[in-house]
């Protein structure tokens, strides 16, 4: 018997839940098909249909356009490093850690010394905002617990006053 779980953490949204559901159904279909073949059943004679779930197209990329004018570059970077989900988590986390009214932007930055690229979550905090260091520390404390090293090394937060 196969058991699958769909998580609903503080940063999950409807699209991610749908992705998890589609992935779980696809894995379940693969397991059923594998078990049928293993016991010698001719799967070409099944009375039910196994559909390829890759035909279902859902996108969580559209959220990027509200934070950058160069969304194609951000998408390409995130896709090439498998960071799309963690970029979304980083954005949502930054929005939740900093006061309302702070402006958030995304950009790709290249380190002039190493030539390595990173996704920058650029947070503009209102001038005169107290406790900015506390907001930053709250972000960092939560970020390192939810993101793997690949994400924490390639997605960075910068702060400035607006």
Q: How far is CA 56 from CA 4, 19, 26, 85, in A?
A: 19, 10, 11, 18
How distant, in Å, are the alpha carbons of 25, 27, 28, 90, 115 from that of 52? 10, 11, 12, 31, 40
Number of domains in the chain: 2
Please tell me the predicted confidence (pLDDT) of residue 24: 59
- 27 and 100 fall within a common domain: no
Digitized pLDDT (tens) for each residue of the chain, 162 residues in all: 445 555 555 444 555 665 566 555 556 655 555 555 555 555 455 444 544 444 444 455 478 889 999 999 999 999 999 999 999 999 999 999 998 889 999 999 999 999 999 999 999 998 787 888 999 999 999 999 999 999 999 999 999 888
C-beta of residue 105 within 8 angstroms of C-beta of residue 124: yes
Q: What is the pTM of this model?
A: 0.63
Determine the pLDDT at residue 101: 87
- Specify whether 18 is located in the same domain as 69: no
Whether residue 104 is found in the same domain as residue 153? yes
In this structure, the answer to whether residues 69 and 131 fall within a common structural domain is: yes
Task: Indicate whether 117 and 40 sit together in one domain.
Answer: no
Looking at the structure, tell me whether residues 26 and 69 fall in a common domain: no
């Amino acid at each position: 018997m196969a058991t699958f779980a769909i998580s609903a953490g503080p940063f999950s949204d409807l699209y991610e839940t749908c992705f998890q559901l589609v992935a779980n159904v696809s894995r379940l279909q693969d397991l059923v098909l594998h078990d049928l073949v293993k016991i010698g059943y001719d799967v070409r004679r099944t009375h039910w249909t196994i559909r390829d779930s890759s035909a279902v197209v859902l996108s969580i990329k559209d959220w990027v356009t509200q934070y950058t004018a160069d969304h194609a570059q951000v998408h390409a970077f995130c896709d090439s490093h498998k960071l799309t989900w963690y970029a979304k988590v980083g954005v949502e986390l930054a929005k939740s850690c900093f006061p309302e009214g702070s402006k958030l932007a995304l950009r790709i930055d290249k380190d002039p010394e190493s030539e390595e690229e990173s996704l920058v979550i650029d947070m503009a905090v209102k001038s005169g905002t107290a406790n900015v260091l506390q907001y930053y520390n709250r972000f960092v404390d939560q970020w390192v617990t939810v993101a793997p090293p690949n994400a924490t090394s390639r997605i960075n937060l910068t702060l400035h006053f607006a």
